[in-house]
Amino acid sequence: MSPPALVGRTGVVTGASSGIGRALTLCLAARGMRIVAAARSADALRELAREAGGAVHVVETDVTRQESVDELRERARHACGRIDVVVNNAGVGYVEPFVTSPFAHWHETLATNLLGALSVTRAFLPLLREAGGGLVVNVGSASASGWPYVALYAASKAALEAASIAIDREMRGSGVRVLSVEVGPTAGTGFGSRSDPADVAAATRSWTESGIPWTEVSTPDASARKIVDAIEAALVPAGARAADDPGT
């Protein structure tokens, strides 16, 4: 049997202060990884570090600010030496009609979900390459197929997925992979919490009318496990997986 894929590995998780990112950080730490957890809310990060014990190191980070991203990389390098996995999970989303959506929401959504994730990716790629390999996981969304009432959010995730494919191809031969992992609707997170409940109700009606299968709502733990599965699958060589699995 091969050793567990994640034991002794190191990772960075952005957007770790709540929702899926918090659950993901706890899950990866429980599987033996040392995690650098990043977000803007210092109090929530401190509470996460207390809950996780010594395996989680927190760094207050705003992914929309380049100097903050550079500081995250330096502090992660200092805390862990080498980094194996970077998860771009930080994200914001507004549920609202496109025609009345404020430009400020457009800018915040693209700056965080697309440019923030790409800025973190670019900052860490040299570190991963120097170490001879590594993995960037960009958290995608089922809404990227074009869900109404989240046009800018869907656009940010579709663009991030396209960029992930492009960068992954640029990294060919380096040992570094860049993946996008699609996550479906997940309750119990901060997603859409700043939106008008009437707009959210209109959105869910519109999703149903559009034939979108949105009612199978996940939990933060279950969505985090989907990301963990993708990380494990990418880190364990296919040969080792096949040898462990009598069904293959």
Ligand X SMILES: NC(=O)c1ccc[n+]([C@@H]2O[C@H](COP(=O)([O-])OP(=O)(O)OC[C@H]3O[C@@H](n4cnc5c(N)ncnc54)[C@H](OP(=O)(O)O)[C@@H]3O)[C@@H](O)[C@H]2O)c1
The residues carrying an active-site annotation are 153
Closest CA to 41 of 27, 21, 26: 21
CA dihedral for 22, 32, 129, 229, sign (positive or negative)? negative
Nearest distance from residue 198's CB to ligand X, in Å?
19
Nearest distance from residue 4's CB to ligand X, in Å?
25
For the chain, how many helices (H) and strands (E)? 9, 6
Contact in structure between 68 and 57 (CB atoms under 8 Å): no
Report the C-alpha gap between 160 and 112 in whole angstroms: 11
Q: Which CB, 130 or 196, lies closer to ligand X?
A: 196
Report the C-alpha gap between 195 and 51 in whole angstroms: 30
Q: Which CB, 132 or 144, lies closer to ligand X?
A: 144
Nearest distance from residue 245's CB to ligand X, in Å?
29
Nearest distance from residue 246's CB to ligand X, in Å?
34
Q: Which CB, 43 or 209, lies closer to ligand X?
A: 43
The secondary structure of 131-144 as a DSSP string is TT-EEEEEEEEGGG
Q: Under the rule (CB under 6 A), what is the footprint of ligand X?
A: 14-21, 39-41, 44, 61-64, 89-93, 112, 116, 139, 141, 183, 185-186, 189-191
- Closest CB to ligand X: residue number: 19
Q: Which CB, 20 or 36, lies closer to ligand X?
A: 20
